[in-house]
Amino acid sequence: MKKVLITGITGFVGSHLAELALAKKVEVHGFKRYHLSNMKNVLSFEKQVIWQDCDMTDPKSVNQAVAKTKPDAIFHMASQSFVSPSWAHPSLYMQANYNMTVNLFEACMTCGINPRIHIPGSGEEHGEIFESELPIQPSTILRPVNPYAVSKIAQDLIAYVYFRSYGLNVIRTRAFNHEGPRRDKVFGISWYAYQVARIERGLQEKVINVGHLDDRRNFTHVKDMVNGYWLAVEKCEPGKLYLIGSEHESQIHTFRQSLERLIEMSKVKGLTYQTDPQYVRPTQVPRLICDPSEFTAQTGWEPKIGFEQILTDTLNYWRDQLDRGLVN
């Protein structure tokens, strides 16, 4: 790959992926909305990226940006990714996660290019999985329990349609929980770490507000995950679905275990936590643990960063953000 396009480059995963690509001396193009994109995640390398103003909900905008870029590979990271608001905005989530993907595919066909296009799905698509169905396989049934998951299923399936119907080189993955620096503070581990950092600075009482805590996940560091995405585009078969996630027992924890370990890591003693109803979702996904063996066999990928480092990096990120006055 000599030239890559990253949609959603200013987000959590997209920004880490951009850093990886730049380290590999690849020409990196990124979409940004001229008046809306939050650039804080890319400030350290902003000048190394070739930017295209693009609103991916607008087909004309996507056509023009893709025509200017004509990349060898596209990492489609742009999405509505926070689960909780999807109940209040189900149409928005479908319009974003489905329509933006169709606009991207159509733009490639209009421009006469067929790059390898990575479509990152989510373990949330599986939804209500029973203990007897673990670990999750690519063939495991989908029982989505939130609108976000449905929108990601739609994105995944339309990707397969464009592969089968038009021969687009679509690389389909389904990533399970990945965490680390730059994760927005609306997600579990990042939300807990942000509150711990605030408590350490006397900005909050010694009580951490949480939602449901007993869902179990296999956690992967975001840096390991973007390495997996890169290998997927290099080595995976177009059209086929691959699951990516850490399978070792040391990486499998509940959110309660994650929270309690962060409390142990705090510089302040005596922290407690309480359930706040506003953070409890209408439905839960009690267990999402995948079998990534097929992906590992295809690519040689394996996670290298342990769970303890995930928590340390996340907590230190929020400490730094508060120290620099970038958040309150």
Residue 295 pLDDT level (bands cut at 50, 70, 90): very high
**150 and 202 part of one domain:** no
CA distance 163 to 287: 31
Dihedral sign (CA 155, 72, 244, 7): negative
Whether 292 is covered by a domain: the verdict is: no
In a domain? residue 209: yes
Q: What is the pLDDT of residue 7?
A: 98
Residue 293 falls inside a structural domain: no
For residue 121, being part of any structural domain is answered with yes
For position 277, what pLDDT does the model report?
94
Question: SS3 helix, strand, coil % of the chain, rounded to 5?
Answer: 45, 20, 35
**Domain membership of residue 86 as a residue range:** 3-179+219-244
What pLDDT shows up at residue 38? 83
**CA–CA gap between residue 255 and residue 178 (Å, rounded):** 13
In this prediction, residue 35 carries a pLDDT of 72
With residue 50 as reference, give the H or E element that holds it. Answer: strand 50-53
C-alpha gyration radius of the chain: 19
For the CA atoms of 5, 6, 8, 14, the dihedral, rounded to the nearest 10 degrees, stands at -170
Q: Is the pTM of this model over 0.85?
A: yes
| The total number of structural domains that make up the chain | 2
Whether residue 328 lies inside any domain: the answer is: no
Whether residue 268 sits in one domain with residue 235 = no
Q: Please give the share of the chain, as a percent, with pLDDT higher than 70.
A: 100
- Band (pLDDT 50/70/90 cuts) for residue 64 is very high
Distance in angstroms (rounded) separating the CA atoms of residues 189 and 209? 12
| Predicted confidence (pLDDT) per residue in 157-209, tens digit | 999 999 999 999 999 999 999 999 999 999 999 999 999 999 999 999 999 99
Residues 210 and 141 in one domain: no
Inform me whether the pLDDT recorded for 36 exceeds 80.
Answer: no
**Same domain, yes or no: 194 and 56:** no
Give the separation between CA 28 and CA 6, rounded to whole angstroms: 7
- 130 and 192 both lie in a single domain: no
CATH number, domain of 198, equals 3.90.25.10
Does residue 272 share a domain with residue 153? Answer: no
* Domain assignment present for 295: no
Tell me: do 42 and 91 sit in the same domain: yes
In a domain, 289, yes or no: no
pLDDT the model gives residue 105: 98
pLDDT tens digits along 219-244: 999 999 999 999 999 999 999 999 99
3-state DSSP call for residue 163? helix
Determine which helix (DSSP H) or strand (DSSP E) holds 227, and give its type and residue range.
Answer: helix 222-235
**Same domain membership, residue 193 and residue 159:** no
Residues 225 and 161 in one domain: yes
In a domain, residue 13? The reply is: yes
Residues 132, 201 within the same domain: no
Confidence of residue 104 (pLDDT cuts 50, 70, 90): very high
Write down the mean pLDDT value for the chain.
96
Whole-number pLDDT of residue 33: 86
The amino acid at residue 239 is G
pLDDT tens, residue by residue, 126-161 = 999 999 999 999 999 999 999 999 999 999 999 999
Residues 150 and 101 occupy one common structural domain:
yes
Output the domain CATH number for residue 149: 3.40.50.720
What pLDDT is stored for residue 6 in this prediction? 98
Verify that 117 and 29 share a domain, yes or no. Answer: yes
- pLDDT computed for residue 37 by the predictor: 76
